[in-house]
Structures are given as C-alpha cells and as structure tokens.
Structure 1
Amino acid sequence: MGIQFREPWFLLLLIPLAGFAVWAWRSKLRMEDNRKRLAVGLRTLILLLLLTALAGMQWFVTLERQAVFYIVDRSDSMPAGSQSYEQWLKTSAEARKDQDLIGVISAGGNAVVERSLSLQALRQFSFSGEVNRQFSNMAQGMQLAAGLMPEDAAPRIVLITDGQENVGDLLRQGQLLKNKGVAVDVLPIPAPARKDVAIENVKLPENLYQAEKYALEIQLSSTFAATGELRVYEDNRELTRQTVSVERGDNRFALQGLAKEPGFHRYRAEIYFEGDEQAVNNAGYAFSRVSGPPKVLIVEGTPGSSGNLESVMASGLIGYETIAPEMLPLEIADYTGYDSMILNNVSATRMSGMQMEMIEKAVKDHGIGLVMTGGEDSYGMGGYFKTPIERALPVSMELEGKREIPSLGLILVIDRSGSMDGDKLELAKEAAMRTVELMREKDSVGVVAFDSTPWWVVEPQKLTDKKKVLSQIQSIQPAGGTEIYTAVQDAYQQLLKVDAQRKHIILLTDGQSSTNQSYDQLTANMVQNNMTLSSVAVGDGADVALLEALAKQAKGRFYFTNDQSTIPAIFSREAVIMARTYIVDQPFVPAVGQPGDWGTLFGRGVPQINAYVATTAKQTAEVALTSPEPDPLLARWQYGSGRTVAWTSDVTGKWSRDWVAWDAFAQTFTQIVKWTFPQFQDMPLELTTRLNGNEMKLGIKSQDAEFKGGLRASVTDEALQTKTLQVTPTAPGEYEAGMDISKPGVFLTRIDLLDESDPDRTLGSFTTGFVLPYSPEYRIGSGDPTAKLKQLADMTGGRMLSMERPEEVFQGDVAAKKQLHDLTRWLLTLAVLLWVLDIAVRRLSLPWGRLAALPGALLRRGRGTAAPKAPDAEAAMERLRERKRNVGAFYRGADAIQDAADRSRDSSSLLERGTEAAPAEVPQQTSTEQRSKPGTTVSKPAVSETTDKSAETMNRLLAAKNRRRR
C-alpha cells in the first residue's frame, strides 16, 4: 500500500503554503491565543487539502495477478483439424494461479466474447459464438480484448491464428496495445500445403456495341501444375469450353468473343481441375453493357396469349423475349438486361415474393420500365394487394368504397401444427392479415387455427375493429399435430350463423389429417347453403389429393405451392375473387384525362372497351384514359429511376376487341412501351473496383473534362438491400466511394450525374456492377505470415508459444499492477467541512480556548487524572459585576472615573481580607446624581494621581470592549 500523485508538480505549492502559515501566525490578529492558533491551523489545513487534491492524491495496493484473454481465429482459412487448440486452451488454463483471470474471444470477420474474464477454469468450455468465417479480422478481436481488461490485473492477450488476416491491421493494433502495456503472446497455427487453383480476376470492356468483338481476360493462380477445363458464360448461356494448362503461380488467358445481344450482361468464368482441394474460389465474374436496339421481356400468364403484343414489338423494331412467370430470373442482375417488362395477365401467385422484390428494385433503382395489362388474373384479381409490384404501379388494388360490393363472410382455417413452425406460419399470418385489410366493416371474418383440435383465434364477427382482429391473428403460435376435419366442420357450423351475401372458407395446411373421415356430406352441405371452400397445400408433405377434392366438391379453387412466399398473394386473390365486382363488364368509350405527350395518340378518338379490372389511381399518377365510374383505364407515373404504366383492360381482344382491331393500336402501344424505357444518356464514366479487406473501393473516372456537377452512387446487393454511397472527388474528373461488404455476391451499381446548380436534379444515370465472387479468405496466399506474428509479439513484449508447452502461458514474471483509489473527492469534501468550521471560528465569539482544551480534559478524566479545581464561584461573580460597573462608568463620562477607581480599590482590599461585600453596600448614586441635589458640594480629585489611574482603567475598559466585539 502506498500514496502517489497524478500531478506531483503541484506539490511545489507547499513552499508558498508554509510561508503563508508563518505570516498568518505572526500577524496581529485581534484574537485570544487559543482562538488564533485554531483559526490559523484550520486555514492552513484547508489550503493543504486543496493542494493535494490538485496534485491528484491516490492511494494504491500492489497486486500480482494476470488477466489473460485468448483470441481464437475461427475463420475458414484455419487448417482443417486445428480444433485441437480447444484442448490446448483447457490445458494451458490449468497452469494459472488462483487469482488469475481468463477469458475467450472468437474472431473472424467480427469478434464475439465466448467467455468473459473469470476465475473459473476452462474444463467445460466449448465454442458457441457466431462469427463471419469468410473474413479474418484479428485486430478487432485484440481491440475488444483490450477494452475489457480490468485495472487490477496485469493484462495479457494470447492470439491463436494462422496469420492470414485480410481485414484490419495486426501491427497497427499491436502498437496501440504496446502503449497501453498489454503484452500479446502468439500461438501460430501453420497452414498446410494445399493443391488449389483459383480465378483471381475476369476483365472485359464495360461498354460494348452490338456485333463488336471483345477480348475476355482471365487470370488464374495455382499452387501446382495441372491441366483442367475453363468455361465461360454470358448470363446463363455458355460461350466457350476449353482445356487449359496452368503452372505454379500466375497464369493469364485471353478469349475472343462477340457482343450479340444488347443490354446489360454478366459474364462468368469457371474452372475445373483434377486434385483442386478448394472449390469456393473457382468462379469469377465481370459486367458489360452492350449498346443496341432495346429489348422487352414479355411475361404471359396464359401460353400463346401475347401474340398481339409480339406483333406490336416487331412492328416497332423492338426486340422481345416471351416467357412464362415460372421462368422469371432469380437474380436481379438478369432483369437489368431488359429495357422494359410487360406482365400480361399474370397472377401474383405464380411469382415468388423475392422475384416481385427484384422487379420493383429493377424499376426503382435501375430505371427498368414496367407495363401491366389487365385480365382475370391481373391487378386485384391476381392477388397483387400490398405486393412490391403494387408499390411500383401507378394504381392501387383497393377500390376505396366506390361501388356497392356484396357483403362477405369469410373464415380462414389455418394449420398451426409443429410442421408450420418458422416462415410458413409467419407468412400464413401475414396472408390472413392482408385478407382482413382488404375487407370492409360490413364484412364478417373468423379465424380458426388447428392442430389436434381447433382453436378460435377470432370468433366470426363484423369488422368494426380491424386493429383488434389483426393483433389476435398475430398471436397464433405453432403446436401439436394435424386434424383437418374437425376444424373445417367447426368453420362450417360458425359460417351458417353469419349474415352475409357471400360465404367462403379458405383452408391452408402443409400436412395430412390424423384421421380419415368422409368429407362428402360436409361439402354437400356447404354447396346447399351457398358456401364455397378453397384450399391451399404448402409443400410436398401436404395431402394434395384430399385438399384438391375438397376445393372441387365445395366449388372453390385449389392451390399448391412449394414457395411459401406466395401464400399472402393466394389469400388476397381469394378475397378479391369472392367480391367479383372488381371486373367491370359494361361497354363504354374511354374519356381522355391527362394524356400529356400521349395526347396526339388519342386526338382522333379512341375505340370502345367492353370490360376492365377496377383499380384506384394513386395520388401523383397521370390518368390518360378513364372509365365512366371513373376508374383508370390507362395510367402512368415515374417510380424512382424507372417508369411504369397500368392498362386495366386486356390485350387479347376478349375485353378490347375494338382496340386490337384499331389501325392505330400498334403505334399507340409501341409509344406506351417506349415511354417506359430507361432514360439513359451516353455516360462518359469509367468504374473500377478495388477490394481492401472487407471494404470495396469504387473509383469513378469522367472522360468529360467540362463536367462540373456531382455524382451519386447506389449499390444493390443480392439480398436486395440498397446503399447510397458518399462519392467524393479526389482529383479533377476522378471520384471515389467505399462500402463495407459482409459477404461475397453480385452488386449492381447505379451512378447518377447531378446538376451543379441543383444537386437534387439528375442529369442522367447508368447502371453497371461489380462482383465479389469469393472472400479474400480463400485467395491463394503468398509469403510467410509467421514473420508478421513474431513482429507483433516482439513489439508488445510477448512471446511465441508452441502447441507442445501450453503451460508456458502463465509462466514468467508478472508485472506488478497497482490498484489505484482516487482521493480527490474525499479531500474536497473534507476541505468544505473545515471551511465551514473556519468561518465559525472567525465570526462567532465562543470560549474557543476552553473548547480546544475540552478534548484534553476528557482524555485526562478517562485516564483517572484529577481535574484542576475551579476558581471560587463568588469571586468570579464579583469580577463580572466589576466589569459591568466599569463599562457603565465609561459611558457616563470622565467625571465618573474617580468613583469607579475608588470602588475598584475598595473591592480589591476587601477581597484581600477574604470578606464578602454585600450588594446593598454598593453606593447607588453616582457623582452626577449628587451634583443634582441642592446644597451638595462635589470635590474634585487631585490631578496627578487621578490621571494615571484613570488612564489605566480606561485601557482595561477598552480592551474589554474590543474582546466583547470580537
């Protein structure tokens, strides 16, 4: 234990403090001696306390114990079978002293604390933390450990790694740890030799013209000489396949290609070598935009129903491709290869939720156009309510009370058995809530969830409180087995009591009923009572035969899906179909509304429409043609970077016979589709990418020396998450942006040119992309990482450990650690208390001498020492009376001085004889009173004797007066 100061230079102020104490003691303070000693002592002590507080006085205890954090590299680059370090941890921890603390941190792309610092051993320890194994960031683990070190132990880090870091900087973090006094021991795990061939880079021009030849450069790296196969793909179409030989080290190949199809294309190179032990690095990617005629993707719900659209595209010299909705791409990069998309009477139930998200992102972020045409499977009839595609369209699926729709009684029968746990049940609940949101207050709804027995989540009721019903649906939890018949029978019995014009049941399950009962009578009763039932089978485990038969017998519809994301679209489609009034089948001639630049197309009038799907125009949409309701027939708007159009009638001629026969139909529809094309300009920009750890650096170079505006970059990853990057200029015409990447993938990039005078105004934009095919964790390394690890240990005062001697972790001298306790607060508190006492001593007239002597007297009494005798009480009273008389005489004037002197002299002689003077013997009349009586003669004292005694008496009286004032 000891004392130390944070700022010892303040102790030099002790010299002037000593001088102040001497000066204060010698100063002529008008106080008694004891009171003066107390006042000077208090003031000096207060200043001493303040001075030590300024110097940062601390007391400390010296401790000799360690706090050791093990940091374990758990990235994928660690050698196979290196889990033996877990046993090494436990063995090394057994060598610690009882007071030593140990903890464990796992590190990969991130760092997590597996076990906090504790006195417990590691006998029962096992790794459970989740880390990103695709990156190695040991510096973050070291930083985390340093921040968790206690103050009362000598800190030490044991780093277990192969040294193949690709994020962060070990040596830089080591320098920071050295400054903090944290030693780093290193246990190197050597990486074994591995046969590996990897694609390091794929490169081709970013912009090509149709029919232009190009060179595709591929760089391979190998640890051994071998012969294998190289394949190159454009999008998903194979361009070439050839046999190549590689030598150890870098190998380069150049392939010739021809840009055939216009659009944005992704090129992929793959390698296959016998003996290659790591396949994750066997692919590489590159992007290029091929300039040429525009291309449109037509998605048709009914095969062969797009003949009119294909004729329109051909007459307008627009390239097109027609596919079924099941053939839609599964990667967003593939959608950017088209200038626009047409959804021709396609149901939302035939697209996954992810595909709809990709279409919406392609429109919003990359300027791809979108046109939707009507039909019995489109808009609200297709289940698009609250889908990503509805967000992109200029119309919404709700009718918002425009027309009288028959009242609906709907009961949802939802399987909540254990097999529905997870996303299935969550999407089923989402589907039920969407259906409720589509319904109106006069509709009735009920929800029954079933496992082995039915449970009424929502009793059948009018939708007067939607929020309450939605919250009740959200409370469904999975449990139990599957019993279908009882749940359907209960739903039927409850629906009989509901007062509604149309009654419907939707049954959803992913399993098979535990009992086999006859549903014939039940479905017959439904039909007899004007009820219908639709069934949804989720996954291959569902009883498809039973569910399909139920829907057929009950005059409903059967749905089978292996994609659970389509469940909400199925439910909302069913709710809309039951309303039936979404299809308006009254012939009319459309009225022209806000056609904008399409006004010339309708200047000579428009043909008649026989039917359409009712929708509601969104607030900012431009409605070019309307129905008498009025409902939008043709509407458009700008959605993000793209443009979308809604045509609510069909294009097959069933509802629009006069339109498809109109001589201006081809020209009109061609202009409608072209209006949705991306508004790209020739962009004199070049994009380069460079990976630094897990940060991707984007370099943008402008070829236009006169451009002075700004740039904005947006990057969309494979999970459809979009990030807007800050683009900063680094040189004239050169810009840079950066983003952190947590996992490899394809990243689409949109770059916008901003107006210099108005940064919110976009002058143009273009889409490009980059690919991180695999993490640098899987690159073929070069050099020996052990040298770097040894440098780290030497820098921080650590050691290089070995697997053979785990006990050496806790061997060696332990630097003593001081456990500090700051006294500043206590010193300041004591100074404040003494300051209050100092004020009392100087301002209050109390017997400070006796108070100061009181502790000594109490001490002597405790020791049995007799206290001195108190002076005679009567003599003390006489002195007090005398003092009172002297003061009164002083104020009565100089003529009373002689009488006071005589009385003082008489009293003194009386005390000497040991006799008492009765109060009655004291003269009651002053010399002034005597003079006031008639005939009284006042005799004046002799000048010499009286003057000396008067002066002495006056001095005593003045001294008494001063003491009384103090």
Structure 2
Amino acid sequence: MLLLLTLPFIWWIKTRTAVGLSAPHLVVATIVRIAVIIFLALALAQPVWNRSGKWISVVYALDVSSSVDPDFVDTAIDWIAASSARGAPAHAGYVAFGGSARSVESAEAIRSVPVSADGADRSIDRSATNLETAVTQVLRTFDPRYLKRLVLISDGNENSGDIMKILGRAQEAGVRIFTMPATVRGAGDSWIETIDLPQGIREEEPILATVQVFSRVATTATIELLGDNAALETKAVDLQPGLNSIDFEIRLIGEGPVTISGRLQTVNDPFPQNDLLLQSITVGPQPRVLYVEGRPASAHYLYDALTSEGMEVKLGQVRDLPTSPEDYEQYDLVLISDVLRSRLNDAQMLSVLTWVRDSGGGFIFAGGESSYGEEGYSDTPIEETLPIWFRVNEKRKDLALVIVLDKSFSMVGPKIELSKEAAKAALDLLESTHRFGLVTFDHSPYWTVPLQLASNKNRINEYISTIIASAHTNIYPALEKAYETLVETEAEVRHVILLSDGKTYPDDYETLLGRMAEAEITVSSVAVGEEADRELLGNIADWGDGRSYFIRDAARVPQVFIEETQIASQSTLVEEPVETTITSPVEAFTGIDLMDAPSLKGYVSTQAKDTAEVLLESDAEAPILARWHYGLGKAAIFTSDVKNRWAADWIEWEGYGKFWSQLVRETMQRHSAEEIDFEIERAGDEAIVTVRTVTEEGVFRVGLEPRLEVIEPGGSGVVLEVNQVGPGTYQAKHPLLTSPDSPYLFRLSADDVDAQSRELFYPYTDEYRLYPPNTELLIAVSEQTGGKLLPEPEEIFDDYGEAASVPTSLWPFFASLALLGYLLDIAMRRAPWFWRYFSSSPSRG
C-alpha cells in the first residue's frame, strides 16, 4: 500500500522534469510507470481467487490385515485401479492398512507394501484391524482443495481403535465414506469365544462352565475342557452359524491358580490357529461348614447333600457350638437345625451373633418342631441375628393329648416314677381348654386318666400317682384304645406320646398307624433303655408322622414329654402341605427349578423384619426363606426343616442338594479382613488391571498404595505404575504380545493385604477370530458421512450438488504484468523510431 502513495509524487515529477521530451512522451511514460507500481502492489498483496468446480479427490483404503482373504485383496486392487481410471478424479490416493496404515503411490503398489505380524520397520501390522488409524491416514492423503471421497474396503471387524472417534473429523472435512465389505478368510471356521465361569470358585465345587463357540457354518465339533491339562469333560456338539453356548458341569480339584483350557476340533478346519483358548482362575479352599442338627439321626440328609456339592462339613453336637466368637473363624458358615432353645446357653448364642456381626460370619438357621414361638428363640441373640421375629400373635392350638405309658414289670423303680413325673409335667403345660388322657398298659390297656379337659390338674395328678408296674408289655391294644377315643374328638390337634422300655408282641402296627394318620392323629415314641424295641418304636413314629426318641437315662423322660407337649400345642407350628412361592429371584436360585419343587409338609410361622429380604413364602404369605445382612455378615432362615419330616419330599427332589449348597455359598463368610477385587482383563493388545478394595466397615479404602509386578512370558519382570482412578479403585495398564502357551503373571501386594496373583493368556490376536463382515458398522459409517454401502463407481464420483472451491493465487499474474510494464518502459526509452512515430502522429492528423 505504501507504493500506491508514491503515485501522486510520480505524476508531479513529470511536470518538473528537465528532460527534453515532448508532453505526450512524458504522459505515456508516466502512465506505464504508474501501472508497474500498481501491478507490483497487487502482487505483493498476494490476492486469491476462489474458483468453483467439480474436482474430486478419491482415496481408496484397503484392509490387508490377517482376517481378510488374500485372494480378495488381489481382486480389490484390480477393482481400485479400474475404478480410478474410469472416474478420472482430479486426485487419487491409496492407503493400505491393518493395525497401522500407510499411503502408497498407486493401487498396484499395495501389492508390494511391506507387511508383518507386529508392524516392525514401518510395515503394515496385519495382527489387527484399526479403522480409526486408517481414516486418520486417509485424511492426511486427501487433496484438501477438492471434494473428498473415501472408499473404505474392509471386513469392518475392528479390534483396535474406534472409527467412531474419527468420524467427527471426517464429517467436518466434508468426507463422504463409501464402504465395501471385504471377504473374510476361513469360510468354514469355528473358534472358542469365551469360557464363562462363576466368581469365587471353591475346590470340588460343582460349577457350570459355559463355553461360547462362534461358528461361521453349521458343523459338528468336539469340545474338550481341561484344568491344568487334566481332562474335565469332553462333548460332541452340533454347531449352528453364529454364537453357540455349551454348558459343562465340572469340579476343580486343588486350590490356587488353575489354567482352564478349551480345545475345539472340527472337520476340515480351515484355520486351526484359533482352536485353543486358555484362561486362568484362582480356586479357593472348600467351604467349611459347622452343621449342628437337633435330631442327629436325620442329619445325614443335609450332610450328604452338602458334602456331595464339594463342601467340608463338620457334623457337630450342640455342645460343639463355641462360646467364643474367635473359635468360629475356622468356619465359613454355621448351620443350626431344629435345636431346642433350652439346649443352647446364652454364651453360645451371643458368640454366634458377635461372629456374624463383627467378623462377617455366615449363619443359617433351619426350623423344625423345636424352634417355635415364644417358648423357643424369641428375645434371644439368635432372633436378633436372624431376619425374622419368632413371636407371632396367635392362639395356642386346640389340643387333645393322650400319653400311652408302659407300666410293665421292667419299668419298676426310677423308670416308672420318672415317667409319672413326665406325665405330670406334660399336663402342667396344657391350658384348661385342652384335653388330656393317659392310657397305661402291661399285657392289657387301662384308661388311668380318661380323656378330659385339663382344668382339674390336681385330681388328674392324683390318678397319675397311683400307677404301679406289673405284668408284661403289649403295646398294640393300648395304641388302639387311644385311637378309638381320639378319633371321636374334634380337637384341632390330636397327638399321642408312646413310652416303652421293652419288647412287645407282634401285630399289624402299620395298618393301625395308617388309620391314625388318615384321621390326622400323630404319634411320637420314646424308647427307654437298651432293652426297648427301638426298631418298632421308630417305625411307629414314622408311620404316625411323629418324632422318635431313644434315651438311655430315664431322667430325660420328663424333658422329652415337655418338648413333645410344647410342640403339639404350639400354634406357630404349621403342619400341612405348603406350596412355596418365589418372591425374589436371586443368584442363589440359579439353575434350580423351584417351580418344580415338591410341597413342604410344615413350617414355623414367623414374621419378617422390616429390612429382611424374603425369598420364598408360603401360600399364607409367611416367610419360608428369608435373609439379610447383619453387621458385616449374612444370616438366613429356612422356617421349614431340612430332613425327613416337613422336607420328606424335598430330600428326594433332585434340586435339594443344589438349593442348599448355593444358599450356603451365598451366605457364607468371605475370609479376608480387607476385601480385594483383583481383576485382569484384556482389551486388544493391552492388559487392564483393576483393583477394588473395601474395608471391614464396608467402605472404600483410599491411599492403599498397591504394588503390581508383571512377569512376562519370557521371564522378565516389570513393575507397573498403579493409579487411583476412583474411591477404593486402582488401575494399571500393560501392553501385550502374543504367546502361544505361556501366560503373563500379575502379582499384587500391599500393606495389610495378602499377596495375590493372576495369570493372563494371550495365545493369538483377536484378528484370528474370523467373524463375517460387520456390515452394520460399515453401513453406520457410510450413513453418518453421506456415503453408501456397496456403491456403484459413478456414485463415488458424483458431486451430489456440491462444488469444490479451489483457491488460485493471482500474485504471479500481477507480477508478470509489472515485469511487462517495466520492459515496455525500457523499450520506449530505447527505441527512438517509436517516439518519432508518436511525435509525428498529430501532424498526420
């Protein structure tokens, strides 16, 4: 612009020049010089002219990764060359890509581009498909002045990068992406996708391992599952195209790290490199369960079920329950079943509560006739620990109780006297509206106390005191007499307690007890001493739907009678067929068809606490199975029993063992002062290590400072930097290289935390999972950018109503004009004939 300011000065100089030139000569010379200056000023201003046109820049990006069929690559190169020649774009570019990308000079040059399995020496990495990298390289290859078209030829199965992250840049640059699916190699291939295993596997636990197999075609295959190279199970299966799920029921022997291997064999396998999948897991020790059963003769049902499900079960007596919470630390769970409240002391119950609450113990309480209402565990530490209240506001049952008492010669002495006291104790528990009767027998039966209201207890006690022992034992007539009287009463509950210490005459007891059972009259039996006919008395209790007792010391007779009377009179005991309803489907029920479970025959009526989770309930909406968190631990109650009384049909049900083992595993303690969730997952060719921590108080721990070391397949060790990425959450990353049979070993340690290790196998890259083309992704990419899947050549080169704006610099043009003006000025001064002609022009006019 400063040059333009000199123009007036140049014109003024013309009027003051001393050169002997004519006026016309001076005017023309001045005009030429002014024009030169104007042209120079315009050239220095570097003006640009944006030309509008239909010029197109096309870049072809061809996927040459391992998953693409080599024959297809050759065909695609020929097509690219023909398409480019036919469309004759203003600019054409060519990119070959896999895990990395590289621009080449021509389509033919793609054939000779260097490739490798790891991208070394600037070669194309064929071990991955990275569409994001490919598009990034294409954006650098375009001629920025023209309309931009990308022809992306790939199977679309990206296993590295994310093309969606780069699409925004492509859209801003005005790139239309046309996609063409590539043919994937291994047309008939199948491979193991994953092996899905449950969390927290324990030694010898029956587990369901689900092997996910992807198949390109319908075919037959053999799948072998191994644990540390030992065969676990082999299956021959029919595979369908797509993802197939095959379940294996396995057990793992031994605790610690275990390598699970899945091997796949198919007929005419086109690509065997991907037939093996390795996975490392950590197997914990067998769950340790302390099982205390109030009726030891029936303990084998649950004991056998739990041990067959891979648990270490200690079958203990009530006296084996510790009185100190620390003594429970050797167990994962304590299970108490049908134990009378009177047999547990306060220290035992309080230690259970403390262990569950403060140490995270697991506790299951199973019901039975002994665990009833107010006279049972109401207002005890056991009730405090459980998710229910035992106290239920109901009347006691209308009861007719008949005691059938052996008074034969063998009962002389303490036996008969203790039995009389036991009968009196039973009477004392009854309400005045209940009915009581006493049949004594030797070789004949006698109504010592005819069935009557229990209101005049003093008089009835006098009758009981008159009993003396005599003659021989004959049980059948006495039972029959009790039956004949009870069958005529209308009491809600009709119950018989039979006591004998000797042998009796044979008779058809089973038929008699069958008639009693049909009339809903129950019979319990008490065998006193070694001479008692235990087998018959046990059968009588079984046939009579009652309970069987064997006692060596007659001093226990009163307590047994008290127990039986309490059980019979309690309204909280519901003894009738019970249909259970699932109220909350939970993981503990996985794989169990509870809809197919048989009916239970009774339960203890309870009331769920406000924060309890009721999982099963009766048809009267009473809790059958409930659980909750109590302090740091878990507690659950099953209000029916676990044995051959109320659960008589359940113990024959195929789901019985699985139901109880899974409930135990869901409830049991996790042994660690600090809960550590240590996970290794692979994302492409990178391991992502995540550590999550929870303190004893159940909150995330911060400032843990974990130390993490990785031992690579070659044996070299690397310490990884671990960063806290959230509350109680730490993370680290480590690059991976494929290793056919050796794992990466990750070791975690920290202060106050037990050291842990995990293994990660990376036998082959994801590129060897030869999925069909991902047309959904290719379509999405095209639609978002205004392109098309499988375009015709003319569609690639269509301008779609768009125009390219090509900037053209004008400074060379103006500089040339300035140069011509300068030369003209020199010519006018050096050519006299021009000026003579110019001077003579007026005279010619």
Between the two structures, name the one with larger relative contact order (CA 8 Å, sep ≥ 6).
2
- Note whether the superposition's TM-score is higher than 0.5: no
TM-score tier (shorter):
0.3 to 0.5
What TM-score do the two structures reach when normalised by structure 1? 0.34
What TM-score do the two structures reach when normalised by structure 2? 0.38
